[in-house]
Amino acid sequence: MENEKYSKELNVAVRVVHMACFLCEKVQKQLFSTNSDQVKSKDDDSLVTVADWSVQATICWMLTEAFGSQNISIVAEEDVQTLIKPESSALLEMVLTSVNECLAEAPRFGLQGPDKALGPSQILEAISKCNSTGGPLGRHWVLDPVDGTLGFVRGDQYAIALAMIEYGQVKIGVLGCPNYSVKDDGLNKYSQQKNLVESDDVGCVMYTSKGSGKAWMQPLILCDKRFEWPNSAKLIRVSSIDDPALATFCEPVERSNSDHSFAAGVANTVGLRKKPLRVYSMVKYAAIARGEAEIYMKFARSGYKEKIWDHAAGVLLVQEAGGVVSDAGGRSLDFSKGIYLEGVDRGIIACSGLALHEKIIGAVYDSWESSNL
Ligand SMILES: Nc1ncnc2c1ncn2[C@@H]1O[C@H](COP(=O)(O)OS(=O)(=O)O)[C@@H](OP(=O)(O)O)[C@H]1O
Ligand SMILES: [Mg+2]
Ligand SMILES: [Mg+2]
Ligand SMILES: [Mg+2]
């Protein structure tokens, strides 16, 4: 069975994502309790934080330990350009501390960390090693250390996304969602009581492997050691709702990331009645996989090229939990072309089932025709 073939990879991936969630929760708390400068702007005006670099370094280090440095290819979002500037020494120091504090906890996640704390050059090397450009041949790990960095700095939803691609196909997908409660209706509850999450209301890690037809969810392993490894896992499944009037659709929070008015037109054509659920990050895919929403639509501005790390893990989770994902023309997403999803037709549509998917694709076609008249 294909999923057994990748059991070691999946096992390591799930554990390192748990570690990354632990790291991010710590940094997110510090972000609100200190006023140190942990957030920077990148050239495209998007944000990067101590957590993004720290997760990338930690996961790279752990994957290299597990699978050997010779034959590992990692495609990930961040680089070291900002961190190596002389004026960034305080920032690098914060990354160093958070990576080493996290790696020291590795045994709690059933993994082995380094014998002694990593130095700055090892951290920079780990981050910059994740510079593979992927492609159609061989195996590539694909990492978004913090997806939804804006959500992260706002104390809202974000995700740690790790996938493994072989010969252009996503084989395993793991999503860590520290602010997405394992309880039913976890998203709604969070949006109502932000930052007031009860102590037993922890986030989750979801994972799957291609062809298994199953996707799983675990509660986060908490700092107070309440959940020790091996952690309990629960099967997740997409919603069975196929009546558009009862369906919930989610979309990006930022208008600059997706055309809200076009999505509203499609929703109207299909007969969706509920207000859109606007959620940062790949937590949108997680919500479809868990059955908390039925539709996810994203229409980026024309010319924007989607990156594989923003989708790989989420797409596989939705598919294996019983859902359907395609571009807005109905074609599958192609993860074999390098760091970008080439040839995406207008946008991305993920649905809990085929019936809703067909309706949305049809409505996109109709709305596009009429908006271009
Ligand atoms: N202009 C533009 N258009 C479309 N998409 C963009 C754009 N700019 C950025 N990004 C990528 O979007 C990631 C966040 O996407 P979301 O769908 O979660 O959007 S939102 O945060 O809810 O608004 C976000 O991922 P992170 O950088 O990992 O946070 C970006 O990769
Ligand atoms: Mg980013
Ligand atoms: Mg991202
Ligand atoms: Mg990111």
Query: Can you give the pLDDT at residue 70?
Result: 80
Among candidate residues 212, 236, 260, the one where a domain is terminated: 236
* Domain that includes residue 332, residue range: 244-370
Would you place residue 1 in the very low, low, confident or very high pLDDT band (cuts 50, 70, 90)?
very low
Among candidate residues 206, 236, 266, the one where a domain is terminated: 236
Which range is least confidently modeled, 144-158, 198-212, 349-363? 198-212
Which range is least confidently modeled, 171-175, 263-267, 341-345, 369-373? 369-373
**Beta strand extents in 58-213 (DSSP E only):** 74-76, 139-147, 159-166, 169-177, 204-209
Annotated catalytic, 149?
yes
Whether the CB-CB separation of 165 and 335 falls below 8 Å is answered with yes
Nearest-ligand number for the alpha carbon of 146: 4
pLDDT score of 2 more than 90: no
For residue 249, the CA-to-ligand 2 centroid distance in Å is: 24
Domain co-membership, 119 together with 267: no
For residue 82, the CA-to-ligand 2 centroid distance in Å is: 13
Tell me, what CATH number does 279's domain have? 3.40.190.80
Which range is least confidently modeled, 38-42, 100-104, 111-115, 281-285? 38-42
Q: Choose which residue among 28, 44, 46, 302 to substitute to test ligand 1 binding: the one with the highest number of ligand atoms within 8 A of its C-beta.
A: 46
Would you place residue 194 in the very low, low, confident or very high pLDDT band (cuts 50, 70, 90)?
low
Residues with CB under 6 A from ligand 1: 46, 77, 144, 147-151, 252-254, 256-257, 280-281, 298, 300, 304, 307, 310
pLDDT score of 18 more than 50: yes
Q: Choose which residue among 49, 302, 310 to substitute to test ligand 1 binding: the one with the highest number of ligand atoms within 8 A of its C-beta.
A: 310
Would you place residue 3 in the very low, low, confident or very high pLDDT band (cuts 50, 70, 90)?
low
Domain co-membership, 222 together with 257: no
Domain co-membership, 328 together with 184: no
Domain co-membership, 14 together with 106: yes
Q: How far is CA 283 from CA 118, 151, 159, 225, 270, in A?
A: 31, 11, 6, 25, 24
Domain co-membership, 205 together with 262: no
Tell me, what CATH number does 88's domain have? 3.30.540.10
Domain co-membership, 329 together with 281: yes
pLDDT score of 223 more than 60: no
For residue 257, the CA-to-ligand 1 centroid distance in Å is: 6
Domain co-membership, 265 together with 307: yes
pLDDT score of 343 more than 90: yes
Q: Residue 122: which residues within 8 A CB-CB, separation 6 or more?
A: 61
Query: Can you give the pLDDT at residue 200?
Result: 59
Annotated catalytic, 52?
yes
Protein residues near ligand 2, an ion, with CB under 5 A: 46, 149
- Structural domains of the chain, count: 2
- How much is the pTM? 0.95
Torsion of CA 301, 304, 305, 308, to 10 degrees: -70
Q: How far is CA 233 from CA 205, 218, 288, 294, in A?
A: 9, 5, 18, 23
Domain co-membership, 83 together with 204: yes
- Residue 338: name the closest of 163, 135, 165 by CA: 135
Q: What percent of the chain has pLDDT over 70?
A: 92
Among candidate residues 236, 263, 296, the one where a domain is terminated: 236
Whether the CB-CB separation of 109 and 229 falls below 8 Å is answered with yes
Domain co-membership, 294 together with 200: no
Distance, CA of 290 to chain centre: 14
Query: Can you give the pLDDT at residue 222?
Result: 66
Query: Can you give the pLDDT at residue 121?
Result: 97
